[in-house]
Amino acid sequence: MVLTDLKNSTSTTLKSTVSLATMIDGEIEVFSVKKATDVVERENQLSSMRTINDQHKKMETKMKRVIEPILKDYGMNIPFSFAFGNVKSELESYIKEQQPDIIVLGKRKNKPYKLIGDSITQFVLNTFNGVVMIAAENNALEPNKELSLGVLNDFESSANMEFASVLLGHTKKPVKSFKINRVKNVSEESKKTTDLKTIDFVFEDNGDSMKNISNYLLKSDVNLLYFDRGLKNETKNANQGFSDINNFMNSMDVSLLLGSR
């Protein structure tokens, strides 16, 4: 399920979603909500109805314009729907009704999809227990091409191993693993021989940890970073820098895949 505000980055978000859906043999739906107060400003009932009908046509046209190139380029038909009303209430109702396996949100200029200062991304993370992908505007996932996957914390302890195993089948090897270590004077890079064929990047726990990881992600050409929200609390505490998801999301310039909790 792609939740979008139909801004300029929507086509890039859909492209990354098509890439992920192709890997896991999934289907895509698109949903958008517009605040009722942005649609109806007049008190006259007849004028309000005309405005709603006009906005309905405009929304439908806009969504078709965004989705049709995806059908043309990748042959994937994507149903869409939209609503007018309270954004959070409409989103919550739609999520409960559709029960998606994965929710995808766009991320632009280091700021997740926001509504008047109140993050819809945070709302989704608080109310939805499944997998969430936050698609970056730059460095989109390419359909029918291998991922360059990075992982925060230990992949092998993931609560989402079945899902993660599918991703690994579409990932360039070795996988890059990023960790924060409280012990000083640790090596920035160490090669580790495991069944997952990972290269570990270990960083000191300081105020520059997130910035350093973000820089290494770009240097390593990673285009999707996996973080397991379902890890046990003691593991999160051992990697202190990852516990603040807001800070984490805003620091990274690549698409993020947050595992179910």
Give the CATH number of the domain where residue 11 resides. Answer: 3.40.50.620
- Asked whether residue 116 falls in the same domain as residue 24, the answer is yes
**What is the domain extent for residue 178?**
149-259
- pLDDT (tens digit per residue) in 213-245: 888 888 888 999 988 776 544 344 444 444 456
Q: Do 114 and 209 share a domain, yes or no? A: no
- Please tell me the pTM assigned to this model: 0.83
Within this chain, do residues 80 and 175 fall inside the same structural domain, yes or no? Answer: no
For residues 52 and 45, give the distance between their C-alpha atoms in angstroms, rounded to a whole number.
Answer: 11
Domain presence at residue 156 = yes
Alpha carbon distances (Å) from 28 to 70, 75, 218, 236:
11, 12, 28, 32
How many domains is the chain partitioned into structurally? Answer: 2
Please indicate, yes or no, whether residues 57 and 177 belong to a single structural domain of this protein: no
Q: What's the confidence (pLDDT) of residue 115?
A: 43
Q: Which residue among 136, 164, 192 closes a domain?
A: 136
Say which DSSP state 153 is in. Answer: S
In a domain, 144, yes or no: no
CA dist 130 and 236 (Å) reads 18
Q: Break the chain down into helix, strand, coil percent, rounded to 5.
A: 40, 25, 35
> Are residues 159 and 88 both part of a single domain?
no
Regions of the chain short of the pLDDT cut 70: 37-49, 108-118, 154-161, 182-196, 230-247
122 and 153 in a single domain? The answer is no
Please tell me whether residues 44 and 81 are part of one structural domain: yes
Specify the pLDDT at position 111: 53
Asked if residue 183 is part of any domain, the answer here is yes
Co-location of 127 and 182 in the same domain: no
Say yes or no: 13 and 123 in one domain: yes
